[in-house]
Amino acid sequence: MISKAGKTKFQIDLRRHLRENYVNENLTHLICEIAEASKYIIHSISTGDLGVAGTSNLYGEQQLALDVLADRILRKRLEHSRVVANMMSEEMDEIIPVSPDCDGKYSVAFDPLDGSSLVDVNLAVGTIVSIFEGCDLLQPGRRQVAAVYILYGPRTTLVYSVGKGVHEFGMNMLREYTLLKENLTLQPQGNLYSPGGQRNLYTPGVEGFVSKLEGRGVKLRYSGGFVPDINQILLKGQGIFIYPHLQGHPLGKLRLLFELSPMAFLIEQAGGAASDGHRPILDLQPKQIHERSPVFIGCKDDVAMAEDFIRRLE
């Protein structure tokens, strides 16, 4: 099906790709339901209310009407999928039980609209989903069986992994996801960097690492959206994103279960690495739902260099 140049000869849709990768019926159904939900989310982004919802989430952040709508769309779809045991959303403050019977079912953590504060300035945003077998959601990311994100940019794309490489699909004119690229792969070292957090709050190790990268002549590419920034690294095959621990903010900003675990799963599947500065993100045992962690994610030699600076200077 794939030509030597890596281009598809025929249009392979998402369901067929999952089946050809021997993904079981329930997980195939679940990933396809997430893909279906994204079609309604992209419609809401294009046409919906850009105002605030009048509510705030657990982090005290004001929820946008779009955050609430995207959350509702995904939750409803998952609730009715018949293959979900438990789910939790970045927008909710507790786990939502769906079915007491965990056999053959999955538990799902999701950020329905990551980067939603960028919608009003028309920058790219995304949906991030993490999938575990059975009932337990508070598990190290290494136990995920799949991770998916959908990027709502100039084009809508879906990237997934079930632990057999990372594959990109694009939404076509019929609103079907068809294969764009298989087996996205990262080089060991890159020349792009996406540094989050305020530079004046960087700790000595992080400052040393970033200065070293800059000495190498890397290009700055930071959009303020985790999904487009990670997508860029995966598609270019190189780069590093950091949102480090900061003075006064030892855990950085990003959420372990909703943002970091699924992206770390995808990046490791593509041959990259993701670390909190000391350990792989995928080995961190979450203690609570809305836990945050610093992150250094992308080309594996660059992540190792960040760990080395932190070890030596902090």
Alpha-carbon distance of 50 to 258, in angstroms, equals 23
Q: What are phi and psi of 279, to 5 degrees?
A: -130, 160
Stretch that binds ligand AFP, among 31-39, 221-229, 273-281, 287-295 (CB under 6 A): 221-229
* Residue of 21, 26, 117, 189 interacting with ligand AFP (CB under 6 A): 117
Cβ at position 57, least distance to ligand AFP in Å: 9
* Amino acid identity, position 40: Y
Cβ at position 197, least distance to ligand AFP in Å: 6
- Token duo for residue 22: 């021997």
- Token duo for residue 59: 């982090």
Q: Which is nearer to ligand AFP, 30 or 124 (CB)?
A: 124
- Structural element, H or E, at residue 8: none
* Residue of 68, 69, 115, 132 interacting with ligand AFP (CB under 6 A): 115
Whether 141 contacts 130, CB under 8 Å: yes
State yes or no: residue 114 binds ligand AFP (CB under 6 A). yes
Most distant CA pair in the chain: distance in Å? 55
Cβ at position 254, least distance to ligand AFP in Å: 6
The binding site comprises 90, 111, 113-117, 222, 253, 259
The torsion of the CA quartet 279, 284, 288, 289, rounded to 10 degrees, works out to: 100
- Token duo for residue 67: 């955050």
Alpha-carbon distance of 186 to 39, in angstroms, equals 29
Cβ at position 160, least distance to ligand AFP in Å: 19
Alpha-carbon distance of 52 to 45, in angstroms, equals 14
Q: Which is nearer to ligand AFP, 44 or 81 (CB)?
A: 44
Q: Site residues for ligand AFP, window 188-207 (CB under 6 A)?
A: 196
Whether 108 contacts 87, CB under 8 Å: yes
Cβ at position 226, least distance to ligand AFP in Å: 3
Alpha-carbon distance of 93 to 212, in angstroms, equals 40
Binding mask 240-279 for ligand AFP (x = CB under 6 A): -------------xx-------------------------
The binding site for Mg(2+) comprises 90, 111, 113-114, 259
Residue number of the CB atom closest to ligand AFP: 226
Q: Which is nearer to ligand AFP, 115 or 277 (CB)?
A: 115
Residues at the interface with ligand AFP (CB under 6 A): 114-118, 196, 224-226, 253-254
